[in-house]
Amino acid sequence: MLSTGSNYDEVRQRFRWRIPARYNIGVDVCDKWADDPGRVALIHLRKDGEVERYSFRDLKRLSNALANALTAHGTKRGDRIGILLPQAPETAVAHIAAYKLGAIAVPLFTLFGAEALEYRLADSGAKVLITDTVGLSKLAEIRERLPALELVLSIDGPADGALSFHGEVDKARDGFQPVDTAADDPALIIYTSGTTGPPKGALHAHRVLLGHLPGVEFPHEFFPQDGDLFWTPADWAWIGGLIDVLLPSLHHGVPVLAHRFAKFDPEAAFHLMAEHGVRNAFMPPTALKMMRQAAPAGVRPGLAVRSIGSGGESLGTELLDWGHQTFGLVINEFYGQTECNLVVSNCAGLMPVKAGSMGRAVPGHEVAIVDDAGNVLADGEVGTIAVKRSDPVMFLEYWQNHEATARKFAGDWLLTGDTGRRDEDGYFRFAGREDDVITSGGYRIGPGEIEDCLLRHPAVAMAAVVGIPDPIRTERVKAFIVLDQKAAASEALAADIQNHVKTRLAAYEYPRDVEFVDSLPLTATGKIMRRELRKRQTAKASV
């Protein structure tokens, strides 16, 4: 959708949304490319090291057959279909089939435990679950408490209570007439990562893919270009893997490398990207930090990466510098959330990148800093990051939760729940979650800037900052530090880290408490769960 220009303002002014009244994700990402039998859609690196290639024609044939098989079992328009699978061809096929049916896909993370799965399957009222042997073992604990679940398909073959995914597909016709869906018809429910309260199901319409396109094309330097090949270590169950990588790539006819490590291995990631000629990658900040630990500096041989996008936590100067030395490019930080994704971004080829900034509003989106009533604040003021409706990337509602949906909006603005500020050039800087903001001595302190500063200390590998109760200041800043492998915890090192922040930011921002830890609690998408650190601190104080 984006057209190139000489500067940001020109690209933004040229942009126009083109959202048709009738639109179906499944048809868009698959059928329109299927006339070319040799056009590769997926390159699947299996666990045994073998490589499988699937064309768009393969995806059309398989998704049509699955849609027919599901229809034969009574699945109909509007039914929810849980998809509990890793990065695999069957995952893409299941999504495409669900959209063609007019059903609602419910992507589920493979590392969820039984309780997490039960919550999401029960809350969504899923009628179908497509999974594998690992998923079936978790389902066995909870299935009797899921009365809406009628059909289970396993990609590993038939099992107790599950039919064979491939067996059902093989015996079904591969001709299917997709349901005629409107762009505003519901297509999928993606559950929030639960950093604040229980997860909520963000219901998205088919148009959400079109709404994502500018936010994918911008940080990936006007994606697609000849020879592009996309990969992410992020699971396709999350919005970052599914609609930041898989579906927009297929929309553009660009192949996707399908492989997710059981446990992220930075050296293996470097090797994978070099061996398969990955040109575009979405890398969560945690993955980048681990790769930096494995390869502190210097260009890695064999890489052909053209663009890297990252979001979820601030990257900071050190990580940006390392990315430039290692990949020969600027990692473009972007911002969004499950309910309204990819609305702010950098694009180094078009505009200067400011370290610590998430970038500017992606063309097509109107983003501002507002107060609690939805009034736009002046540049430089800290407030809530908000997106103006109606926006095609914006969710329809929280599934069966009208009160939470209403609280998400103030007037014409969707409130992200994140605080930040905009500078005079239109760049947005993240301050923190509203519940992560620290109030100390009359100051409102966002943890992001302090964490960025901490990461510039040579002994710090990862850091998280929270506010803890203080009888005088209301709260004081506490830092949880994961040290570099070469560093050893000591009081002297803690004092040096404190002074590092005090002399670089401000006296009121330095961490008055430092705790060295082996690891930090992270969501499945790699975001720091600061509320867990606060809980840990509260429990410790009560002993």
Instruction: Give CA–CA dist 70/296, Å, rounded.
Output: 50
CA distances from 376 to 367, 379, 384 (A): 10, 9, 9
CA distances from 404 to 32, 149, 199, 388, 436 (A): 38, 26, 11, 18, 20
Please tell me the predicted confidence (pLDDT) of residue 250. 98
| 230: β partners | 256, 280
Residue 496 in contact with residue 529, Cβ under 8 Å? no
Question: Which range among 144-148, 324-328, 449-453, 539-543 shows the weakest confidence by mean pLDDT?
Answer: 539-543
Total Cβ atoms within 10 A of residue 341:
26
| 97: β partners | none
Q: Is the pLDDT of residue 206 over 90?
A: yes
pLDDT in tens, 282-331: 998 878 988 988 887 777 889 999 999 998 777 888 889 999 999 999 99
Domain 436-542 in CATH: superfamily?
A: ANL, C-terminal domain (3.30.300.30)
Instruction: Give CA–CA dist 466/515, Å, rounded.
Output: 11
Instruction: Give CA–CA dist 524/194, Å, rounded.
Output: 10
Q: Give the residue-averaged pLDDT of 175-186.
A: 98
Is residue 192 very low, low, confident or very high in pLDDT (cuts 50, 70, 90)? confident
CA distances from 508 to 438, 453, 519 (A): 11, 14, 26
Is residue 95 very low, low, confident or very high in pLDDT (cuts 50, 70, 90)? very high
Helix (H) or strand (E) holding 274: helix 266-275
Is residue 195 very low, low, confident or very high in pLDDT (cuts 50, 70, 90)? very low
Q: Give the residue-averaged pLDDT of 60-88.
A: 98
CA distances from 199 to 107, 122, 135, 398 (A): 13, 12, 20, 10
Q: Which two tokens stand for residue 10?
A: 């020109």
The amino acid present at 140, given as its one-letter code, is A
Q: Is the pLDDT of residue 485 over 70?
A: yes
Listed by start position, the domains of the chain span 436-542
Instruction: Give CA–CA dist 510/504, Å, rounded.
Output: 9
Please tell me the predicted confidence (pLDDT) of residue 193. 60
Q: Is the pLDDT of residue 14 over 80?
A: yes
Task: Region of 116 please: left (phi>0), alpha (psi -120 to 50) or beta.
Answer: alpha
Residue 110 in contact with residue 236, Cβ under 8 Å? no
Residues 6+ apart with CB under 8 A from 212: 243, 244, 247, 248, 341, 342, 393
